[in-house]
């Protein structure tokens, strides 16, 4: 169920809110993957930073899709191409 909710949010570029390790989070989800430990993760950018973070599925609770809040992914531009 989590995978389906996150997959749809990624495809529609919708922000999501959830509780992660007892802390409320709001992120722009970018993609789903499996980390080196074999755990399913979602990568996304939090509102408070420009850094992409991995969030483990087993630590995510109470997912809510913010349907009115759309985003456009940040694409880093390498300095060698300037």
Residue 13 falls inside a structural domain: yes
Residue 16 falls inside a structural domain: yes
Q: 16: closest CA among 57, 64, 74?
A: 64
Q: 31: closest CA among 51, 3, 68, 59?
A: 3
Q: Identify the domain containing residue 59 by its residue range.
A: 2-67
User: How confident is the model over 1-55, as pLDDT tens digits?
Assistant: 888 999 999 999 999 999 999 999 999 999 899 999 999 999 999 877 878 899 9
Give me the number of domains the chain comprises.
1
Residue 73 falls inside a structural domain: no
CATH code for position 44: 2.30.30
- The pTM assigned to this predicted structure is 0.79
Residue 45 falls inside a structural domain: yes
Residue 37 falls inside a structural domain: yes
Encode burial over 29-65: b for 16+ CB neighbours within 10 A, e otherwise. bbebeeeeeeebbbbbbeeeeeebeebeeeebeebeb
Kindly state the tokens that stand for 21. Answer: 């390790």
Residue 79 falls inside a structural domain: no
Kindly state the tokens that stand for 1. Answer: 């169920």
Residue 76 falls inside a structural domain: no
């Amino acid at each position: 169920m989590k995978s389906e909710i996150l997959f749809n949010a990624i495809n529609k570029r919708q922000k999501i809110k959830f509780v992660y390790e007892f802390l409320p989070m709001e992120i722009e989800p970018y993609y789903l993957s499996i980390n080196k430990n074999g755990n399913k993760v979602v990568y996304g950018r939090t509102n408070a930073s420009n850094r992409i973070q991995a969030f483990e599925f087993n630590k995510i609770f109470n997912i809510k899709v913010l349907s009115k809040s759309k985003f456009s992914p940040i694409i880093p531009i390498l300095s060698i191409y300037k």
